[in-house]
A and B are shown apart, each in its own frame.
Chain A
Amino acid sequence: MATAMTGRGMAFIRSISGELQSRLQVLGAGPLQLSCLHTSTSLESKHWERNNKKMFPPQKPDEPRRPAEVYHSRRQIKYSKDKMWYLAKMIRGMSIDQAIAQLQFNDKKGAKIMKEVLEEAQEMAVKNHNVEYKSNLYVAESNSGKGRYLKRIRYHGRGGFGIMDKVNCHYFVKLVEGPPPKVEERTSFDQAKEYVEYLKSRTIVHSL
């Protein structure tokens, strides 16, 4: 994305953001009071992959079987995060076979990469995470995130310039064992009916 601004404006904004960041770091030193601030995230922490190391205690034989979860991601894909989001939103909730089929015949560049990621995740699930049937998985979460951008100069007319971002994105996917959950379809008629029932159920409280 090329932003056409003067150099001085850029420096000003950068200084402001630097001050804000330092102030946030100072404020985030008290973890007990300010639990909403993220204190330990840095640019190198790969949080999504760490979810794969989470251990659960052994289950007793009468408990329902806990479904296996596999987290996988790919970093620094040379694609835009907004364009990737469309594909990620498409496959949310699909079974893994359906997702791979849809991505195989999609014309976008990100579809090929996403298909590779899903196949890697499926293989990981069967090999390392004790998943019995490789088709018995569905896409529970699928997201795209901004990667580290490279900055270049885009030359404009009259000696103007813009900073061009070479975009990269990350792609995150979580596969869960089991059949995909059925989404209840609510038609407009159902919604209208519910609204009318709500209107009918109104009463006057604390009346005489």
Chain B
Amino acid sequence: MATPMRRTLVALHRATCSSLMNAEASLDLRHPLPLYLPVRTKKRYFIPPAVGMKGMKDANIEERARKAGGAHRQQYFERPINIASTSGVFDPYIPPEGDARLSSLSKEGLKQRAEQIKQSAGSQLAIRKIKEHDPQFSTKSFAEQAQEIFIEAHTALTQFNKEKLHSLLTERCYPEMTRGNRYKTISWRFLESLEPPKVVHARCPDMISKGNLYGQVTVRMHSKQTLAIYDRFGRLMMGSEEQPKDVLEYLVIERHLINPYGRWRLHGKIVPSWAPAKDPIIKTVLIPGPDLKPGEEFEALNHQVPKPEAVQWSK
């Protein structure tokens, strides 16, 4: 409302001035009248920076490069990758059921031993191939070496020494071992080995091209260990410090045979289908129930909690 009034006032002023001018046009005594009076806008001393900047960002890089004189080369988002480990366990070892519980003198024990000898044909071929590339390889010394690697890897995990972990674990094993552990404290101790470790299986798969050999050896270990996991606030999540547990494990150790600097590193673990269930964690976990329609009620008697299948999987 104010602006129209002001405009009319100025118009009136101009009109009066012009009438006066016409009256005294011959005399040039008074001050020269400005021809244009800016009425509508005043000079903006502050303009917000975002006004009129849309669409400028795309042209920036190229223009700058042209001004500087150098040509702007297209950036390639590619990088060469060295594959130093396989992505899984090829032809995994199937541990016979009741492995640590039957002695070799019983009938079932003899059957198991027979099956083991049958499986070992492929392993003998693989071991021969490994010995071509690594002449110092022998199954007896390798089993102890594997156990040492295992112990070192787990102590590095408790201290979370990244460089050492990368040198002792393959690239496939590292995320599996360390997922979710960044904000947890793990205390693990290896007490003793109940049976000497034994090489049970070996395979030499090749990846992508024919000569690219990797050696995977499975080692069976029976040992006593303690494990206690604490969460971010130092509260015990699983396990206990004092109670030791007997653990039967099948470790897979891998090495890139072609590479002269390759090292034997822990690649994964095989969890058999008959493995006993692990200890539960201390806290209670909510398992979501069935989806109910609006009229239905939850029947606790008929509802069964779904149990996971007993399948062998490699960790």
Contact = CB atoms under 8 A, between A and B. Distances in A.
Contact of A129 (B42, B232, B236): B232
Contacts of A68: 231-233, 235
Contacts of B48: 150-153, 163
Contacts of B46: 7, 10-11, 153, 161, 163
A23 interface: no
A11 B236 CA distance: 59
Contacts of A151: 48, 50
Interface string B40-71: 11111111101000000000000000000000
Interface string A148-177: 001111000111110100000000000000
B286 to A, nearest CB: 8
Interface stretch (A33-41, A55-63, A195-203): A55-63
5 contacts: A7-B45, A53-B183, A59-B234, A61-B236, A157-B3
Interface residues of B, number: 29
Given A7-B46, A130-B235, A159-B41, A58 B2 contact: no
B284 interface: yes
A108 B235 CA distance: 39
A8 B231 CA distance: 58
B234 A161 contact: no
Contact of B42 (A53, A58, A67, A159): A159
A58 B184 CA distance: 9
The interface centre, meaning the residue of B6, B46, B47 with most chain A CB atoms within 10 A of its CB, is B46
A120 interface: no
Given A68-B232, A151-B48, 17 more contacts: A7-B45, A58-B187, A58-B230, A59-B233, A68-B231, A68-B233, A130-B231, A130-B235, A130-B237, A132-B284, A133-B284, A150-B50, A153-B48, A159-B41, A161-B42, A161-B44, A161-B46
Contact of B44 (A8, A126, A153, A158): A153
Contacts of A126: 286
Contacts of A10: 45-46
Contacts of B236: 58-59, 61
Contacts of A152: 48
B230 A160 contact: no
A50 interface: no
Interface string A118-144: 000000001011101110000000000
A155 B22 CA distance: 38
B185 interface: yes
B interface majority secondary structure: loop
**How many A residues are at the interface, by size bracket?**
35 or more
> Which 7 A-B residue pairs are closest in the complex by CB-CB distance?
A7-B45, A159-B42, A130-B231, A157-B2, A58-B230, A59-B234, A132-B283
Contact of B232 (A7, A61, A130, A150): A130
Given A56-B233, A59-B234, A158 B2 contact: yes
Contacts of B235: 59, 65-66, 68, 130
Given A132-B283, A132-B284, A8 B232 contact: no
A66 B234 contact: yes
Contact of B45 (A8, A54, A134): A8
Contact of B234 (A58, A132, A134): A58
B183 A55 contact: yes
Contacts of B42: 158-161
Nearest to A54: B232
Interface string A47-79: 000000111111101000111110000000000
Interface string B228-260: 101111111100000000000000000000000
